[in-house]
Copies of this chain bind each other. A is one copy, B any other.
Amino acid sequence: MLDTCFRSDMVAEITMQPVRRYGVDAAILFSDIVVPLRAVGVDVEIVAGVGPVVAHPIRNRADLDQLRSLDESDVASVLDAVDGLTGAGGELGATPLIGFAGAPFTLASYLVEGGPSRDHVHTKALMHSDPQLWSELCARLADIAGEFLRLQVMHGASAVQLFDSWAGALSRRDYERHVLPHSRACFDRVGDLGVPMIHFGVGTGELLGSMSSAGCDVVGVDFRVDLADAITRLGTDFAVQGNLDPALLFASSDALDHAVRRVLESGREAKGHIFNLGHGVLPETNPDALARVVELVHAARVD
């Protein structure tokens, strides 16, 4: 999986597949949360049935000293794919490409835990026991992820998405104190390029207001929060992205239609709305259900 994320032909091909098959309005770069870590030489593998596994977790200053910054040459193959897709004669044509990177907290959690974690015990212990080291780790990760996003835009991406998978494991207080400044630093590295910036996390009902202050233009909303509630909370300065529950793709077509229409209706109240699932596509999803959703969304656009 991770090797694939560094093969420009595969990145281009997999990025194009949903565009070809469903005619969606934008492509998102095929990548993985931990790509920027592998790019700077971290020994990380995606183990089947487990997720990303880091050989040498970072838990003290000596570990942190090993973490270097990201250089264009580290992600040359990824940027080749971006060039090819978005350049003159590229297969994407007028379809915009959304760049992608994992956010500092989620990257830090993988690095500190050494793998996926439900409870983030070592991560939170470090955050609270040595806030200085934690802050330096996240600052370095913000640098790495921010630079990765910046390079994607400079090579042709029309928007970026900063993906904080695990932010929902934190209370608002801890998020604001120990994470938000670093997500903001990430966006700061891209802000002057003038592309729309999307911020997404999972289980972030408590955090939407805080996440929106990181400098993004669009706030992704997971399926647990009613989109209408999210829009009320965020106010009129933000577009929203989301938030059909991916489990609804397994329901009857009547139930699915109804749910899609509700999301679309709620979205009309926001400054802007990128229709999307409220988290990733689940492995056993019937592709026909996805096609049906795209059709409904496109039909509503003409209404």
Contact = CB atoms under 8 A, between A and B. Distances in A.
A120 B279 CA distance: 13
Interface residues of A, number: 36
B121 A247 contact: yes
Contact of A171 (B226, B246, B284): B226
Given A251-B129, A255-B128, A223 B168 contact: no
Contact of A247 (B120, B206, B247, B259): B120
Nearest to A285: B121
A246 B128 contact: no
A190 to B, nearest CB: 28
A251 B119 contact: no
Interface in A215-267: 223-226, 229, 245-248, 250-252, 254-255, 259
A76 interface: no
How many subunits of this chain does the assembly comprise? Answer: 2
A125 B225 contact: no
Given A121-B284, A129-B255, A255-B129, A224 B250 contact: no
Interface in A266-285: 282, 284
A168 B121 CA distance: 21
B251 A124 contact: yes
Interface in A85-119: 119
B259 A128 contact: yes
A173 interface: yes
Contacts of A124: 245, 247-248, 250-251
Contacts of A122: 250
A168 B245 CA distance: 13
B119 A282 contact: yes
Contacts of A284: 121
Given A121-B282, A129-B252, A171-B223, 13 more contacts: A119-B282, A120-B247, A122-B250, A125-B247, A125-B248, A125-B251, A125-B252, A125-B255, A128-B248, A129-B251, A129-B255, A170-B224, A171-B224
4 closest residue pairs by CB, A with B: A128-B255, A129-B252, A124-B247, A125-B250
